[in-house]
Amino acid sequence: MRELPHTVVTAIEAASIPPLPQVLVRLIQQVDNESATISELATAVGQDPGLCARVLTAANSVAFNRASAIRDVKSSVSILGTRLVRSIATCLAVKRLFEREPGAVCVDLTDFWRHSMLVAETARALATATDYPYPDEAYLAGLLHDVGELLLLTALGEQYARLLAQCPDENSLLELEQANLGTHHGEIGTWLADQWKLDSSLADSILFHHATAEQIATATPLPKLIWLADAITRNAAAEEPLDTLAAPLFGPGHDLDLANILAQSLEHVTVISKALGIEAPRPQTDAGPVRTLPSVIVLPAPVGRTEADDFLEAMVHDMAVMHPLQQDLFGLESDTELLLSLRESARILFELPRLGFLLINADSGVLSGNLVGGQPNVFRQTELASGADAGLVTRAISRRAVLGSFDEPAHPDSLLDSQFARAFFSEGILALPMIGKRRTLGVMVFGVSKAQYGRLKKRARWLLNFGRIGGVSLEAWQDAMAYRKQAEDEASAAFQRQARRIVHEAGNPLGIIKSYLRILDQKLPENSEVRQEIDVLGEEIDRVAGIVRRLSELPPSHATVTAVNAVELVRELLALYRVALFGERGIVVRSQFGAATPATVACDANSLKQILVNLWKNACEAMPNGGRFDIAINGVVHNGRQHVEIRMLDTGPGMPEEAIRKLSFPEDAHATAERGLGLSIVGKLAAKIGCNITCRSKAGVGTTLSLLLPCDANG
């Protein structure tokens, strides 16, 4: 794609795309419904290009660190979550109200909306008919194919509105755009898709939707789908039957009934239009194509208002304009999510996409941005002591006022304001303090141009109120975290006191039992086989004593790794537990230890014993009326390294999926579920000593567990 003119890029970077008010109302109603699903919210968002663009902008923020490209609207909504989607909808409602001024040039987006929806529905139907694997991606591309028009409209205002007023159709608009702007809306929409890091094929479908039929025939499937959907909805080739458009693109193997596809798509859009209270889309007429562009109108108030506008005004008034935003921020679950919501809210409410945060450390008073992600490095590197005068950011905090570069003299000895402006590639900055109920939490720093700042000065009260909402919300979140930590510390201290009492009380009988074993050992003949079993029993008592003793200690960060002979360890445990666990239930135990098996593993012996005993106990409880338990030890190679595998098979009824999950996700175990707790202990210990556990279980057949332990390098 050609490089866009610098003046156009500068304008569109700060622009926001307006949604249709009826769709915005539907989304707000959906998010207020607690039973609404992500799919239902995605459906509401997917009914408007402007709303979809706003959600995509938020979902593609660096704060989410996505690993793959977004292909559909539902993925974006899932990434953001219900609360953040509601924040976006609320801010768009507020913004729409205070921008509708009498006498201002405005646009009616109804025709544009109908065309975008029709192309989206048609593209999805075509994708299904041609076996394209991502029909929802085709819908998203169709919905956004003309999004460049909306972006240019909000970025250039009256300049672009004059172009729209001269154009009966998109082809005429394309010529005027090239002549007056040096670019066209397809390139602008592609630039936006690239900013979102969408799949390149989706961006190409926006770029090439005005290509010739000969050109588009050489493209990949998705651009072909969008071109064809746009062509048949506008009936760009009215002289020839619609079906002739598909053959050069998809070959004779796809018998596409384009007239029927278009009719069904039109029916879908009609249903949506009626539900939203919008005039139904008009069918193609012999007089020519229906208008698909935004219609320019001048609003001599109160003309031009809709029922949706009245609804939005009443809603915002009833909720005290900014109050819902504050409620939404209070509901967020992390400081990262809260700051991201503030960033998106500032972008929507004030058209300020460049925002950095400096927060005050409650203990030291240092003002810094080193703990806030997703912003230029200069913010992360900034640390200002309490009371310092380093320019606009510190003055805004001390004066509790909105300050900007264009009416505040620069600090003679500080370059920080200039660094912030350069990081944002802006002429200057605006500093907005975040004031809480009891303390100031920090400052928001926006990159602004001189023209932007002149406009924002008229909304200083809005800005200051926005800063207070951010400060109060962040203060409430920090207080909640402090209270939670205090409660956790108090609970931990009480538990440790109780644990010390348990350790003291349990230590006495364990000590007596071990002393008795020593006396018994002395009475036995030198060659008695029972002595070996007494030694194993003594080791087990020591292990239990260690477990009890650790109740009152902080857990070590790493297990004690030693060379352990897995075969000897299993034999000792079987000698001790064969009768107690298996024999009393009539369970037959079969063991197989290969003579050539490399049995020495590197792990913590006590942890391995605890894993095995828990798993054996679990298997025995599953076979109360008898069964078979097999245990085998073999040497295997895993990831190029020698390992020892301890494989155990039982003929019980099988383990439920929830129980198996405890092995891989031990934190999900419920404290009241004994078996779940035992398996969660196994999972935690296995992770601690580097033991890989796999489980295969079939209802009514049994369970096979495999423990994979790395061999000792010196063994």
pLDDT tens digits for 515-564? 667 767 777 777 776 776 777 777 777 767 666 666 555 445 455 778 88
pLDDT at 588: 93
Is 191 inside any structural domain?
yes
CATH code: domain of residue 614:
3.30.565.10
Per-range mean pLDDT, top range of 202-216, 489-503, 569-583: 202-216
Given 497, 528, 552, which residue is the final one in a domain?
A: 552
pLDDT in tens, 283-314: 544 444 456 677 655 444 444 556 666 666 55
pLDDT at 332: 58
- φ/ψ (deg, to 5) at 41: -65, -40
Q: Greater confidence, 170 or 90?
A: 170
d(CA 133, CA 665): 33
- Average pLDDT over all residues of the chain: 79
| Side chain identity, residue 470 | G
Same-domain check for residues 120 and 217: yes
Same-domain check for residues 71 and 150: yes
Contact 358, 382 (CB under 8 A): yes
Given 498, 519, 552, which residue is the final one in a domain?
A: 552
Same-domain check for residues 408 and 441: yes
Same-domain check for residues 26 and 106: yes
Same-domain check for residues 195 and 98: yes
Residue whose entry in the numeric block shows the structure tokens 């999972």:
683
Q: Greater confidence, 627 or 299?
A: 627
CATH code: domain of residue 43:
1.10.3210.10
pLDDT at 311: 63
Same-domain check for residues 529 and 574: no
Is 341 inside any structural domain?
no
pLDDT in tens, 384-412: 998 888 889 999 999 999 999 998 787 77
Same-domain check for residues 12 and 114: yes
pTM higher than 0.85? no
Q: Greater confidence, 529 or 427?
A: 427
Q: With 90 as the cut, is the pLDDT of residue 648 above it?
A: yes
Is 329 inside any structural domain?
no
Is 473 inside any structural domain?
no
pLDDT in tens, 346-371: 887 788 888 999 999 988 999 999 88
Is 471 inside any structural domain?
no
Same-domain check for residues 143 and 281: yes
**Exposure string over 637-670, b if 16+ CB within 10 A, otherwise e:** eeeeeebbbbbbbbbbbbbeeebbbbbeebeebe
With vertex at residue 152, the alpha carbon angle to CA 345 and CA 423, rounded to the nearest 5 degrees, is 55
d(CA 643, CA 600): 9
Is 122 inside any structural domain?
yes
pLDDT at 220: 92
Is 467 inside any structural domain?
no
Contact 442, 470 (CB under 8 A): no
Same-domain check for residues 596 and 683: yes
Same-domain check for residues 586 and 622: yes
Q: Kindly state the average pLDDT of the residues 68-86.
A: 78
pLDDT in tens, 107-121: 677 888 888 889 999
Q: Which helix (H) or strand (E) holds 577?
A: helix 566-577
Is 470 inside any structural domain?
no
pLDDT-derived band at 624 (thresholds 50, 70, 90) equals: confident
Domain that holds residue 406: 352-458
pLDDT in tens, 467-526: 888 888 888 888 888 887 888 778 777 777 776 666 656 655 666 666 667 767 777 777
Same-domain check for residues 236 and 94: yes
Given 502, 524, 552, which residue is the final one in a domain?
A: 552
Q: pLDDT over 90 for what percent of the chain?
A: 16
Same-domain check for residues 227 and 362: no
> Based on the structure, what is the number of domains in the chain?
4
SS3 assignment for 434-453: EECCCCEEEEEEEEECHHHH
Which residues are within 8 A (CB) of 582 and not within 5 positions of it... i.e. 6 or more apart? Answer: 588, 589, 616, 620, 629
d(CA 240, CA 561): 79
Q: Greater confidence, 183 or 272?
A: 183
Q: Kindly state the average pLDDT of the residues 60-73.
A: 66
